[in-house]
Structure formats: C-alpha cells, structure tokens
Amino acid sequence: MKKYLCEFIGTAVLVLFGCGSAAIAGGALGTLGIALAFGLSIVAMAYVIGNVSGCHINPAVSLAMLISKKMSVKDFIGYVVSQVLGAFAGAGLLYYMISSSSALTVATAGLGANGFGDASSVGLSMVGAIIVEVILTFVFIYTILGVTSDDSKSSIAGVVIGLTLTFVHIMGIPLTGTSVNPARSLAPAVLLGGQALSQVWVFIVAPFVGSALAALTFKGLNSDK
C-alpha cells in the first residue's frame, strides 16, 4: 500500500502543479514555463517517492515496466488505479482553487486539458494528435527505460527524466497540450466535460501505444545485455 499511496501523491502533485501552471499562469509562463512546471514536478517527486514506488506517476510508464517484466500484473493494476485517483485529486484541488478565485473561472482558465482541432493552439488534426502523442510518449518512455536500466545512473535518473518530460512538453504544448500520461489527461477532461471529454480517448490510447512501442523497441535493441 505504501507504493500505491506514493503513486497517488506523486500523480496528484504532477497534475496540480503541471496542469495548474498551464491553467492559472499559462499566459505569463509561456510554453517553456509550463514545460518546466511538469518537468520539475517529476524531479521533485522522483527524489521523494522514487525509492518507494519508482515514481511512475503515469500509467504509460507502468505499462512499459509491465512489458519489460519489471512489475507484476497485480502491481500494474494497483499503480494505475492509484495514479488515476491521484490525478483526480490534483485536478479536483485545481478546480476548487480556480472556482474560489474572483478573477478566474474554470470555463475560461480550463484545467490544463489536452485537445486537438479547435482545442489545439495550432489546429492540429486528430490523426496529427495521435502521431504526436505516440512519438512524444515513445521518446519519454524510451529515455526512462534507458536511464533506469543502469544502477550507476540512479542518482541522476530523476533529473534526466524530468528534463526529458520538459523537452517533450516544449514541442507538444502548442500541438496537443502534451499528454504522454493517460491519468494526467483523463482527470481534467472528466471534470471539464464537453469537448475535452469527447477528445480524451486520443490522450489515453496514443500514450499507451507509444509506451508499448518504446518498451518493445528497447527490449529488442538491448536483448543481448
């Protein structure tokens, strides 16, 4: 249960601070600022809960670990449930904060939800969004598998993973808002409803596909090790 609780806390922090930065201060922070908020959330949590749960805080990461036989099916289910609940806790806190403000509304600020078409800053198509999310997730997961496969890199793994999440956000934010994390996308979409909820399937399916491709590719290219 300690592992699951850590995943709950870590995912809540990621969603609250990452999506919160986008919703509350996105205009002032810009793409780089929002990207750093997501990346630094990972860095912070990696050094707090990493020794307990591995700091997945992302169902796509847990899927890659399952495929790589680094976790059991039971733990995979427990991790994903904890991550989704944590994402709802983070998004719920963000919803409350925005609703409590006299200068903000959830309708105008949003909750950092992902989207395509009219919901994309550049009008990216649905197919384009799927391709983008598969690629971004592939790069993110492939990096995680690489940096966590060597114990000598354990001291810097959190920084590397956080910086990688930052750089995939730099490219992805204008395109889709960057998901690479089904839990992070699901919670804001459910709370917002409407277009965000109708499009969220892309940001659940595509990251899982990208994760599976990364895990299988890494396994295939490193099978002799």
The domain made up of 2-221 has a fold known as Glycerol uptake facilitator protein (1.20.1080)
For position 225, what pLDDT does the model report? 56
For position 203, what pLDDT does the model report? 98
Q: How confident is the model at residue 89 (pLDDT cuts 50, 70, 90)?
A: very high
Measured between alpha carbons, how far is 81 from 160 in angstroms, rounded to an integer?
26
Which range (22-26, 36-40, 153-157, 169-173) has the least confidence? 153-157
Q: What is the DSSP string of 83-136?
A: HHHHHHHHHHHHHHHHHT-SS--HHHH--S----GGGSTT---HHHHHHHHHHH
Could you tell me the two tokens for 184? 């992070």
Report pTM: 0.94
Domain locations along the chain: 2-221
Q: How confident is the model at residue 27 (pLDDT cuts 50, 70, 90)?
A: confident
Measured between alpha carbons, how far is 10 from 17 in angstroms, rounded to an integer?
11
Residue with tokens 């050094």: 47
Angle at the Cα of 141 (from 138 to 145), degrees rounded to 5? Answer: 130
Percent pLDDT > 90 in the chain is 88
- pLDDT one-digit tens code per residue, 41-84: 999 999 999 999 989 999 999 999 999 999 999 999 999 999 99
